[in-house]
């Protein structure tokens, strides 16, 4: 799906002197991106951070209908705003309030999400923000890397939260191996073959996909996966010249410290910070057992963010 550049001529909201949160709609080629603009109690704020959600139907707050209930992005936004940094967090197209026709969803590819994030940057620039930082969580980290290569003078830094350091096909194989090997080695081998075919540009028919893997590799999501698999995050990082902060969690069950290390080694202006007990959803836990985390951390909105996470990001932004 091709995208054309949209010049924003209509601002649907304004920054209030009193600060606080307001619901906004950002014009784009396919409709409007639903977002929340949070501003500090200051009329002198010229810095804003865009928080980009991870993969799947994760909304602007860090939740989804798939038993993900963290409010992690909302919590991070609150802490940044309290320190004088405005934030914009948004629903990706076809998620939450960002309505997108159901029949058009199969044509959406990774590049489209990058284009939507560019519209968010343009929106903040039109509001007068001169310093914009991109905070990408998980898949959002890949989007942030693409934005860092745009040579947009308003984007002054990126933060990669629990972001993969390897191409997504490598990460998928690793995650599936953790879940399926050795008990279901045959299913894993089938998944590996499907991944290779998708990356190679093939369309794998639904009847060729085991039922256990259909939600992951359904034909409707294969164009998206193929487009996403084409990028190596470390190769993108080698081209990034603006400051970057890479943050990893020691109890992350989805990406590893080695991912963060690969990104940091590839960067030329990069800082790596690791929190030993942080999970993939940016909250501490005392286990690396996948099922235990899914039950006790991924579904618990009452858990606070990992201590020191927000302050590390604030310090990075203030020192830009």
Contact of 66 with 54, CB cutoff 8 Å: no
Read off the pLDDT of residues 94-103 as tens digits, 9 standing for 90 and up. 999 999 999 9
Q: How confident is the model at residue 44 (pLDDT cuts 50, 70, 90)?
A: confident
Read off the pLDDT of residues 8-26 as tens digits, 9 standing for 90 and up. 333 333 333 346 999 999 9
Q: Is the pLDDT of residue 6 over 70?
A: no
Q: How far is the C-alpha of 25 from the C-alpha of 183, rounded, in Å?
A: 48
Read off the pLDDT of residues 161-177 as tens digits, 9 standing for 90 and up. 999 999 999 999 999 99
Q: How far is CA 2 from the centre of its chain?
A: 22
Compute the average pLDDT of residues 113-123: 98
Q: Tell me the sheet residues that pair with 272.
A: 246
pLDDT of 19: 66
Compute the average pLDDT of residues 147-167: 97
Q: 164: helix, coil or strand?
A: coil
Q: What pTM was computed for the model?
A: 0.93
Q: Is the pLDDT of residue 3 over 50?
A: no
Q: C-alpha distances in angstroms, 262 versus 98, 104, 164?
A: 34, 36, 9
Closest to 65 in 3D by CA, of 78, 56, 73: 56
Least confident of 40-44, 61-65, 86-90: 40-44
Q: What's the chain's average pLDDT?
A: 93
Q: How confident is the model at residue 91 (pLDDT cuts 50, 70, 90)?
A: very high
Q: Is the pLDDT of residue 186 over 50?
A: yes
pLDDT of 9: 31
Stronger pLDDT, 43 or 1, i.e. the higher one? 43
Read off the pLDDT of residues 195-254 as tens digits, 9 standing for 90 and up. 999 999 999 999 999 999 999 999 999 999 999 999 999 999 999 999 999 999 999 999
Read off the pLDDT of residues 268-312 as tens digits, 9 standing for 90 and up. 999 999 999 999 999 999 999 999 999 999 999 999 999 999 999
Compute the average pLDDT of residues 113-133: 98
Q: Tell me the sheet residues that pair with 161.
A: 137, 247
Q: How confident is the model at residue 42 (pLDDT cuts 50, 70, 90)?
A: confident
pLDDT of 17: 37
pLDDT of 4: 33
Q: Count CA atoms closer than 13 A to 76's CA, side-chain side.
A: 30
Angle at 228 between CA 214 and CA 36, to 5 degrees: 95
Q: Is the pLDDT of residue 54 over 90?
A: yes
pLDDT of 43: 65
Q: C-alpha distances in angstroms, 8 versus 111, 188, 236?
A: 20, 47, 28
Least confident of 65-69, 139-143, 153-157: 65-69
Q: How confident is the model at residue 1 (pLDDT cuts 50, 70, 90)?
A: very low
């Amino acid at each position: 799906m091709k995208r054309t550049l949209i010049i924003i001529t209509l601002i649907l909201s304004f920054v209030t002197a009193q600060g606080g949160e307001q619901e906004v709609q950002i014009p784009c080629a396919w409709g409007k991106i639903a977002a929340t603009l949070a501003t500090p109690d200051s009329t002198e704020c010229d810095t804003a951070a865009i928080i980009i959600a991870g993969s799947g139907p994760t909304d602007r707050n860090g939740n989804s209908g798939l038993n993900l209930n963290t409010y992690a992005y909302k919590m991070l936004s609150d802490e940044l705003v309290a320190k004088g940094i405005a934030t914009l967090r948004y629903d990706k197209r076809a998620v939450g309030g960002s309505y997108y026709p159901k029949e058009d969803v199969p044509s959406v590819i990774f590049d489209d999400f990058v284009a939507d994030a560019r519209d968010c940057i343009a929106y903040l620039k039109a509001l007068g923000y001169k310093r914009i930082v991109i905070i990408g969580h998980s898949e959002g980290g890949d989007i942030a890397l693409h934005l860092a290569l745009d040579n947009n003078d308003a984007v002054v830094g990126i933060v990669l939260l629990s972001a993969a350091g390897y191409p997504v096909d490598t990460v998928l194989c690793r995650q599936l191996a953790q879940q399926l090997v050795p008990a279901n080695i045959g299913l894993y081998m089938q998944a590996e073959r499907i991944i290779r075919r998708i990356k190679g540009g093939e369309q794998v028919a639904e009847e060729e996909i085991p039922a256990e893997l259909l939600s992951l590799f359904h034909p409707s999501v294969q164009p998206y996966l193929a487009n996403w698999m084409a990028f190596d995050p470390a190769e993108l990082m080698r081209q990034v010249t603006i400051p970057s902060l890479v943050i990893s969690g020691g109890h992350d069950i989805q990406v590893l410290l080695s991912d963060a290390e690969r990104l940091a080694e590839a960067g030329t202006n990069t800082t790596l910070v690791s929190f030993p007990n942080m999970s993939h959803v940016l909250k501490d836990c005392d286990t690396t057992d996948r099922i235990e985390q899914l039950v006790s951390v991924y579904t618990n909105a009452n858990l606070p963010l990992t201590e020191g996470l927000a302050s590390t990001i604030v310090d990075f932004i203030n020192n830009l």
